[in-house]
Structure formats: structure tokens, C-alpha cells
A = this chain, B = another copy of it.
Amino acid sequence: MYFKKQIDLKKMKKKNNSKTEGTFFLKVKYLDIKTGYPWIIIINEKDGEKFGIRPGDELVVKWKEKQTEIAVDITKSLVKRGEVGLFSDITNRYKIKKGDLLELKLAGHAPSLKFIHKKLNRKKLSYKEMHALVSGIAKHRINDLELSFFIASAFDEKNFSKEEIYYLTKAISETGDMVKFGKVVADKHSIGGIPGNRVSPIIVSIVASCGITIPKTSSRAITSAAGTADTMEVLAPVSLSLEKIKKVVKKTNACLIWGGALRLAPADDRFIKITRRLGLEPYSKMVASIMSKQVATGINHLVIDMPIGPTAKISDKKDIKFVKDLFLYLAKRFNIKIKIVSQKTMGPIGKGVGPCLEARDVLRVLQQKENRPKDLEKKATLLSGYLLELVGKAKKGNGKKLALESLRSKNAFRKMQEIIKAQGGNPNIDSEELPLGKVTYKLKSVKNGLIRSIHNKNLNKICGLLGTPATKEAGIYLNKAIGEKVKKNDILCTFYTDSEERLILAKHALQKLELYEIL
């Protein structure tokens, strides 16, 4: 009995005194604070003293059949004795009601923590041990700090055997939901610093139009102006239940949804969060991360887009070989046909930056408009081609041609319309009708010259000030691209936003953040 609608304070008192080993019960109070990371609950100072709880202690919180570990804070007045204050992240995610009774207990170390100790001491883990550890991670029995130590132990490539990386990948996928969409299931995954947001919807449309199942789950923007999910959301809902996704894929061969709402490889979500904060990840973990999501969604034909270049994630030759070898090894263990595409890539692909602007780029290619970005079309058809060859839809060397035909015939566009409709959007769309912010600004060149580079980071920062990714209509259209010649007063790019205030912020930022390097 972890959970009670009606509580009797006398009973509660009795409960709190009769329990051994520090288990106690408190009544839920809602606190209107959203904590992204980490979760926190609040108890009264007197209860803290009574139950021997100090600020920062981790508590095991149980309700219904669920349990999680949360750090605790102490208050003098915000919650009363006998109450536990819950932040809105928790109450939004779980159906815990005001006045409900929670079972609390000081958390000891998770039993699976010993496997992290083992890796820190450079010992090998069996599959059973790895599974127990990853399960502890997925269930939040292992906290972020402990998890950091596990990830850190993977930086030394010699500390993890290929076999262990296989165990890790398998455990990550098996500790979440597993889906099977069919016999032949394809996917394309990009790695490396260069945004590929606009390529995915085109590839999905092309490949699915050729009769191949390609269920695409993707992420929202974190530091960039738009993730694939943000861009697709301009056209259709992307937060679908697993049941709904299965229906969409059955009907259309494809989907373009946000993976974050699902429980696919949940341990990996935690890995990603931490390595993102660190700004560095072990290559072995990166490969395991990608492959675990593929395994969880039953992908068995996979094209990996691995750009090489100055801003790419991997540039060292030895590292490239290590990553390729590991992909090939894991693909073999999981029976996945794989093709790794390493292309030299110098800068952003496409013209628009921001959800609506990127969706315009996608539709312009799919609708085969005159003003479509050709570099985007080229990359999308190349990768689609490899995928079509991999699944056997095209002979070696003919994939790209088939992909282009799908575009030219508008089959790919019609497939996108089907997907949009199946996901609950309006399929009657045209690239030029997608809304853009009414407040605009044209950035002009201050001199004649040649565009040498476009500062990706600054581009993302200024897009953020303009309102992306939350404001779908905001962003920057790149009128001029790398390698183009410009004259003084030529328009370099156009800002779009929904408020004068934001435009002022973005224009001020321009004083410090250079966008175009013109020589």
C-alpha cells in the first residue's frame, strides 16, 4: 500500500513511528516550480530532523507501483510538517494528486552502483551485470553523478571490449520499449556537428514512396534553431503514442515523430543529457547510443551519414576508423545491414534556419520548386539512394537515380502528404504558404567580397534571440551562401521574428556576434 487517497493523520503518525529503517509517509502538496534537472522534493525542517534527512539527500519515493529517486530540500514554511512539496515536473509527468500519500525512504546506494565501481577499477562486466546496471540507469536508481562516472570510464577505449559495447547497446534497447514495424525496416542516421535537420523528412518521403518501411524518430532542438521534430511539427503533430505511431507506419510505411515522448532506449536519453552537458562523449558510447535506438525500433537496414570536415564531430583518422569498425561490429552482432557514408562537408545545407524556414526548404525540394535548395536535394537523394540499394530496391549505383525519380514524379511529395495526414496534420500545403514572422530585418553586406564562412554557433544564438525553436515562424533565411560573391549592400540574410523587442535584441547581438566572414 504505497498510495492512499484519504489519509488519517493519526494513522499516518502511527505509520511514521512503527516503520523501521527510515520509511515514512508524507502528504503531497503541489509547488509551482518547474525543475528541468534534477528533480527535487521539499519537506519541512521538523520532518527532516525527525527522519534524519538533510538537504541534498536522495530519497526513494514510492507511489502506486512506481518508484524513483529524488533529491530533497528542506523548508521552514513552504510545506508544513507531514507534507511533501512536489514540483510541477513531477506532478505533470506522474498522476500524483494533491493530498496523496507518498512513501519515502533515504536512498542507499543502488545495488547496481557496484558495477560502475567495477568499470572504474577496469574490470569486465558480464551481460547480466551490464543489464542490471543499465536497468538501474533507466529506472533512475543510478543518479546523474554516478552515471557520469560510468560514462567517464568509457573514455579509455581499452577499458571496454567490443563485446561489452555490444552488451551495453543490447541492454540499453532491452530496458525500454521494443517495437517491430516489419520484416524490412530502414533508417538513416546522421552523426557529427553538421546539422542535417532538413535532410531526414526528404529521405523518409523518398524511401517510403518506394515501398520501404522507414519509421523515423527524432529529437527537438537543444542548442540549434530547430531539430527534425521541431521542423516536422510545423506540418503535423509529432508527439504521438506508440500505438498511434504503429498505425501511421502501417498506413504510410513511415512516420516522422519526436522520440522524446516514447520509452525507447530510456537509458540512452540519460547518457545524452549528460554528455551534452559535458560537451564531449566517448565514441564507444556514441555508437552504442545510436545503435540501441535502431535495435529498439527493429531497424535492420541502416545508412549512417558521418560528415568529415573542420566542424565535424570526428576528424582524426584513427577515431574515424575506430567508430566505423565499431558500427560494423555491432551491425553484425544485431544482424543489421549497414552502409557508412563519409562525406566532406563544409557548412550548413539548405537556406532556412528555424522550424518554418526549414520546413519550407523541405517542401520546396519535395514539391520540386524552382527556388529549392539544390545542395539539400543532392544530399537527400544521395543518402536515399544508398538506403534503396541496401534494402535491394535498386541495384548498386542506381539508388540515387531511383531517389531522384521519386522526387521528380512527386511520389515523394505525395508520400509526405500521406504521412502528414496520418499524423493528424493538414496535407494540403505549399512551401510558400508556411507562415514566417512579420517582423523582419535584412542584413546587408558592408563591403564587396567573397563569403568565406557562416558562423554556425552565432547563427544559432541569434536565431535563439529571434525566438526559435519555440516560435516556429522565427529564424534566419540565408540569402547568400558560402562561396558566393557579394557587393556592398547586397542582402546577406533575412531575420524573421514575432516581436519588435526580439528583433532589437537580435540586432544588438549582431554587434558582438559575426554571422558572415567576408574576405
Interface residues of A, Cβ cutoff 8 Å to B = 17-22, 31-38, 40, 42, 45, 49, 52, 54-57, 71, 73-78, 87-89, 109, 113, 116-117, 120-122, 143-146, 148-149, 151-153, 155-156, 159, 274, 277-280, 282, 461, 464-465, 470, 501, 504-505, 508-509, 511-513
CA distance A113 to B274 in the complex (A): 14
When the two chains form their complex, are residues A87 and B109 in contact, meaning their CB atoms are under 8 A apart?
no
Check A36/B57 contact, CB under 8 A, given A145-B144, A277-B145: yes
When the two chains form their complex, are residues A55 and B75 in contact, meaning their CB atoms are under 8 A apart?
no
Name the contact of A33 in the complex, choosing from B56, B73, B280, B512 (C-beta under 8 A): B73
Q: Knowing that A36-B57, A145-B277 are A-B contacts, what are 9 other residue pairs whose CB atoms are under 8 Å apart, sorted by A's residue number? A: A22-B465, A32-B76, A33-B42, A33-B74, A34-B74, A38-B38, A49-B470, A52-B464, A117-B280
Which B residues touch A113, using CB under 8 A? 278-279
When the two chains form their complex, are residues A21 and B509 in contact, meaning their CB atoms are under 8 A apart?
yes
Which B residues touch A120, using CB under 8 A? 152, 155, 280, 282
CA distance A501 to B40 in the complex (A): 28
* 8 cross-chain pairs, A with B, having the tightest CB-CB distances, nearest first: A36-B56, A36-B55, A152-B152, A37-B56, A148-B148, A34-B74, A120-B155, A20-B508
Which B residues touch A37, using CB under 8 A? 55-56, 71
Name the contact of A152 in the complex, choosing from B22, B45, B149 (C-beta under 8 A): B149
CA distance A75 to B74 in the complex (A): 18
Which B residues touch A20, using CB under 8 A? 505, 508-509, 511-513
When the two chains form their complex, are residues A109 and B279 in contact, meaning their CB atoms are under 8 A apart?
yes
When the two chains form their complex, are residues A36 and B54 in contact, meaning their CB atoms are under 8 A apart?
yes
When the two chains form their complex, are residues A504 and B32 in contact, meaning their CB atoms are under 8 A apart?
no
Name the contact of A504 in the complex, choosing from B17, B78, B461, B505 (C-beta under 8 A): B17
CA distance A419 to B42 in the complex (A): 41
Instruction: Say how far A210's CB is from chain B's closest CB, in angstroms.
Output: 39
**A to B CB contacts below 8 Å, 13 in the list:** A21-B513, A32-B77, A34-B45, A37-B55, A37-B71, A38-B56, A49-B470, A109-B279, A120-B152, A120-B282, A143-B277, A152-B152, A156-B156
CA distance A271 to B511 in the complex (A): 40
CA distance A129 to B505 in the complex (A): 36
Q: Which residue in chain B gives the minimum CB-CB distance to A72?
A: B36
CA distance A144 to B146 in the complex (A): 11
Instruction: Say how far A408's CB is from chain B's closest CB, in angstroms.
Output: 41
Q: Which residue in chain B gives the minimum CB-CB distance to A145?
A: B148
CA distance A17 to B52 in the complex (A): 47
Which B residues touch A31, using CB under 8 A? 78
Which B residues touch A278, using CB under 8 A? 113, 116, 145-146, 149
Q: Which residue in chain B gives the minimum CB-CB distance to A75?
A: B33
When the two chains form their complex, are residues B34 and A75 in contact, meaning their CB atoms are under 8 A apart?
yes
Which B residues touch A33, using CB under 8 A? 42, 73-75, 78
Instruction: Say how far A224's CB is from chain B's closest CB, in angstroms.
Output: 13
Which B residues touch A77, using CB under 8 A? 32
Which B residues touch A143, using CB under 8 A? 277
Which B residues touch A149, using CB under 8 A? 148, 151-152, 278
Max chain B Cβ within 10 angstroms of own Cβ: one of A75, A148, A464: A148
CA distance A302 to B155 in the complex (A): 37
Which B residues touch A75, using CB under 8 A? 32-34
Q: Which residue in chain B gives the minimum CB-CB distance to A74?
A: B34
CA distance A509 to B465 in the complex (A): 57
Instruction: Say how far A114's CB is from chain B's closest CB, in angstroms.
Output: 9
When the two chains form their complex, are residues B78 and A32 in contact, meaning their CB atoms are under 8 A apart?
yes
Which B residues touch A19, using CB under 8 A? 508
Q: Which residue in chain B gives the minimum CB-CB distance to A122?
A: B156
Q: Which residue in chain B gives the minimum CB-CB distance to A48?
A: B34
When the two chains form their complex, are residues B55 and A34 in contact, meaning their CB atoms are under 8 A apart?
yes
CA distance A19 to B509 in the complex (A): 8
Instruction: Say how far A502's CB is from chain B's closest CB, in angstroms.
Output: 9
Instruction: Say how far A157's CB is from chain B's closest CB, in angstroms.
Output: 10
CA distance A109 to B511 in the complex (A): 22
When the two chains form their complex, are residues B35 and A56 in contact, meaning their CB atoms are under 8 A apart?
yes
CA distance A76 to B91 in the complex (A): 14
Which B residues touch A512, using CB under 8 A? 20-21
CA distance A164 to B509 in the complex (A): 41
Which B residues touch A45, using CB under 8 A? 34
CA distance A144 to B31 in the complex (A): 26
